[in-house]
A and B are shown apart, each in its own frame.
Chain A
Amino acid sequence: MTPVITETPTHVGKRIKRKEDPRMITGTATYLDDIKLPNMHFAAIVRSPYAAARIDRIDFAAALQLPGVVAVFTGADLDGVGNVPCGVSLPGLRIPDHSILAKGRVYFSGHPVAVVVATDPYLARDAAERVEVDYTPLPAVADPEKALEPGAPAVHPEWPDNVAFVHKQENGDIDQAFAEADVIVKQRMLQPRVVASPMEPRGAIGDYKSAEGALTLYSSTQIPHLLRSIAAAVLGVAEHKMRVVAPEVGGGFGCKADVYAEELLVCFLSRKLGFPIKWVESRREHFQACSQGRGHVDFYEIAARKDGTILGIRLKLIQDIGCHQQLLTSLIPTLSVLMLPGLYRCKTFRAEVVGAFTNCFPTDAYRGAGRPEATYGIERIVDILASELKMDAAAIRLKNFIEPQEFPFATGTGLIYDSGNYAGTLNNALDTIDYAALREEQLQLRAKGRLMGIGIATYGEICAFGPSPYTPAGGWESATVRIEPSGTVTVHTGISPHGQGEETTFAQIAADELGVSMDDVAIVHGDTAVVQYGIGTFGSRGTAVGGTSMFFAIEELKKKIVKFGAMLLDSDEVQFTAGRVVCGKTGNSVALAQIAAASYRALKLPPGTEPGLVATSFWEPTNFTFPFGAHIVVTEVDADTGEVKIIRYVAVDDCGKLINPLIVAGQIHGGVAQGIGQALYEQMVYDENGQILTGEYTDYALPKARNMPWIESSHTETPSPVNPLGVKGVGEAGAIGAPPAVVNSVMDALSHFGIRHLDMPLTPEKVWSAIQGARS
């Protein structure tokens, strides 16, 4: 029988404040830069100002002269360390050499050319400025579309076409679908690069102890275990001699689910020099040399019947790869293809992804990683189709949704959607916002010359990564649950939370399952020397996979608890409930703490049972989970300035069962903020020479508190059948729903001008220019 979670929860489902917060808001949490090790030295990196150049000469004599500077290394000194790894295998994938310091040539503005080590970070930075590097600038290309044009500067001379890979996938007879269609609409759409911008930038400390041959890497990472395996291999350190510690991590948004040159560099330096080396990323470096999100040029074509039935979708996707392959760079756009049809029944599609090398830092996972891009594309093209057919934006979606009785639903892209009620969330959102009245109001305002728009976006996502055959590393997750002799509980989880609040949500689950107080549960994570091997936190997998593995470890423990309870009560008719083993016959009971004490004291043991109360589970999901939702946004556009104001934001999300609605709300709010940022403000701008033009927050526009609307957030709960918790994952939902909802809303406001599409971000000037163009 499949185990189920307790039917009488006292913690799960409640709005409980995060256990993590007191240490963060009192400034007592230990982030990477708070770690101080004896004799620790500091690295400063000399970075190329050019996006493409030959390195002619590096002279660091002046740097070495500064008192306190102990060493300078360049690409010529990298013995015993391999390349920054690529974790993706695709047929024909081109993987450029990616050494941790440039060797003879630089490929992006910010490319590490040399590293200075000094006794304090200020000195290291002073010395780095004294390193003289002569470059011969080379032609560069920063635009992925231009990179693929004949005659474009070659990012890597050995691959003059700048093609990193071509990935094709199709299903059904797409040509027939287009031949039979009553209407075909096409649209080119850009999804510019965005910067991940976690509050805490990256940082790493390498600490090599030569006597033991042991290496510890402290890193602000989302994947301590994978980082250990990879770094050990690249550095040639035996894995059992390597330890990775992820201290408090101040956000990641995917950019820390990666392995970076700097992480390997501090290890290399510590091994060379014999003392710990710290490097902390500056904001400037975050813009230069941390993986960025999106970077799509999409060409969508959709074929439909007059009644709005979608018959087929074609997509040509150019992914801006950047100059190297980071860990999952080339995987991300293939996820967009898997999610191509969104929530719609249509199974016929053809997709071609071309990865284009550019003289920029690589793209990689960023909140949603491939799914927001896919959702944006399908939700925009469906809106454009609706307006072409003069159909209502809600009606066309309701017409094409997969219906609740069709689950599990096999998509044309090879996924099995687990469960859903798509019309349910959309209708809920339409009711909440009073859609019919709003359309009426829109007409009245339009008559007065005011530009109000209503934007609908529905989304699905692939979460809970994932079955191992479909993921680049294992897709399982691990947990060890220990009942300590006093009856308190310690959980070691293989995930690595960095803002998701699992110290709280896992404690809620464990407290309910074991019948203890949440205060008696500690969730431990992030240190490979303490926690059994795990995979990490990304792809909205923490609770759905990590939480489930904890649940199964507890299930295993419960069997042992019952055995000890039976022994102590001297009865076979016992059950474990609310933290006690109770005898059904006598009503006598024994508390978990007594059982724990007995199990460790071990004066007497149940037959065939070992002392102690510890269990470990490595749980492998059989499928992904597929959360979904509907977001409706009302905007008003200032016709004279192009400025966009969000008037209302309604989000109805279904992430399966809610463990902690307060934390879920936080995830939705944060995701929506980032999604609004992408829709209206954020864009990494490079000039034609690959120079960064938005290298700080003075020019790169993150959404501010004053830009945020009130978010009317609610939920439907369609439990996932994939895991016994019924959870699906919610970390990325807001960032997926918001961009198309906001852009659809603004486009709706402008629709009567005949403006069909504008690319993100919808800056005031872009919107105003479009209105001007339409009026003249």
Chain B
Amino acid sequence: MICQEFDYFAPATLHDALQLLSDPGARALAGGMSLVPLMKLRLATPEKLVDLRHIPNLRSIRRKDSMIHIGAMVTHYEIESAPLIGSDCPLLAATAAAIGDVQIRNAGTIGGSVAHADPAADYPAALLALEARVELTGASGEREMAFEDFLIDTFTTALEPGELVTAICVPVEEPGSGVFYQKHPQPASGFPMVGVAARLSLMDGLIGFARVGVTGFSGKGYRAHGVEERLIGKAGSEAELLDAASVVAEGVQASADIHASAVYRAQLARVATVRALRASLLKAG
């Protein structure tokens, strides 16, 4: 398909990028896996594209104390395959590996995905379970916030006009914790109809810590606090996991489309939660 005419910029510094993005007709181009298809369909018609690929400090992965700092332009494939993330934040690596297909993972970036805030993106489940933080940079400087607060609604984030996501920060996984991302992909797009990310750790054989993030289920990703609460202090028997998972969709309005009704999504959410918990528990120890 044929997109509308636009001016293309590939600034070499963040400063230049922000300056260009101060124009309301400008849009940042990260991996282009969401923006470019929309442009091809003329559903997005930016006048200027500001390609962030040449900005060097957006591509690094580094550990700083107990956090891993991932530049916004790091691709899904890099996250999937980086030894540091594989060893220190396996949940994020597993989530990245579940995204789309090889071509998408080679081009798509974590910053682009997070800023786009697609309600069916894979990352939100893991980022919520990880209590990740987002680093934003705008003309007036840097700020950072919890990913949970950053995510406001369907395709809506806390980004101010002209502001960029510059990094995602995730915690280094504690030794002995078990993590898992369980995804049920929509057969056409590969986006999750429901994806559940779980992190568990045991204390004296009982679950002492639980984080559960859900994506695809509704207009935005969310933390299933109800599930987490029910798990604390439990040994994690099948009945206990089922009981905890039974509240995963409580109080959340399920999305519905031609691929999955709200009722079916609720079922998938329960099943995915049980499976993610079960697998996490097996790994925890």
**Chain A residues in the interface with B (C-beta under 8 A):** 44, 121-122, 125-126, 129, 282-284, 640-641, 643, 680-681, 685, 693-694, 696-702, 704, 706-707, 763-765, 768-769
Contacts and interface: CB of A to CB of B under 8 A. Distances in A.
B260 interface: yes
The 8 closest A-B pairs by CB, nearest first: A701-B188, A701-B187, A765-B264, A125-B2, A698-B189, A282-B1, A640-B271, A681-B187
Nearest to B271: A640
A699 B258 contact: yes
B184 A129 contact: no
Given A641-B271, A681-B187, A681-B188, A768 B5 contact: no
A283 B2 CA distance: 11
Interface in B1-21: 1-5
29 contacts: A122-B2, A122-B3, A125-B2, A125-B42, A126-B5, A282-B1, A284-B1, A284-B41, A640-B271, A641-B184, A641-B271, A680-B187, A681-B188, A694-B188, A694-B258, A696-B41, A697-B188, A697-B189, A698-B188, A698-B189, A699-B188, A699-B259, A702-B188, A704-B101, A704-B190, A764-B264, A765-B259, A765-B261, A769-B264
A773 to B, nearest CB: 12
B101 A643 contact: no
Interface string B49-93: 000000000000000000000000000000000000000000000
A701 B258 CA distance: 12
Contacts of B187: 680-681, 701, 707, 763-764
A641 B268 contact: yes
Given A641-B184, A681-B187, 4 more contacts: A685-B258, A698-B189, A764-B187, A765-B261
B267 interface: yes
A23 B259 CA distance: 39
Nearest to A42: B2
A125 B2 CA distance: 7
Contacts of B184: 641, 643, 764
A763 B186 CA distance: 10
Contacts, number: 62
Contacts of B5: 122, 126
B2 A282 contact: yes
A700 B188 contact: yes
Contacts of A706: 101
A661 B26 CA distance: 55
Given A122-B2, A699-B259, A763-B259, A768 B267 contact: yes
Interface residues of B, number: 23
Contacts of A283: 1
Nearest to A681: B187
Nearest to A639: B271
The majority secondary structure among interface residues of chain B is loop
Contacts of B190: 704
A559 B106 CA distance: 60
A105 to B, nearest CB: 26
Given A129-B42, A701-B188, A765 B260 contact: yes
Most buried by B among A681, A685, A693, A768: A768
B34 to A, nearest CB: 11
B46 to A, nearest CB: 15
A694 to B, nearest CB: 7
A697 B100 CA distance: 13
B223 to A, nearest CB: 23
Nearest to B265: A765
Contacts of A129: 42
A643 B267 CA distance: 13
Nearest to B45: A129
Contacts of B271: 640-641
A121 B2 contact: yes
Contacts of A699: 188-189, 258-259
Nearest to A687: B258
Contacts of A764: 184, 187, 260, 264
Contacts of A698: 37, 188-189
A768 B188 contact: no
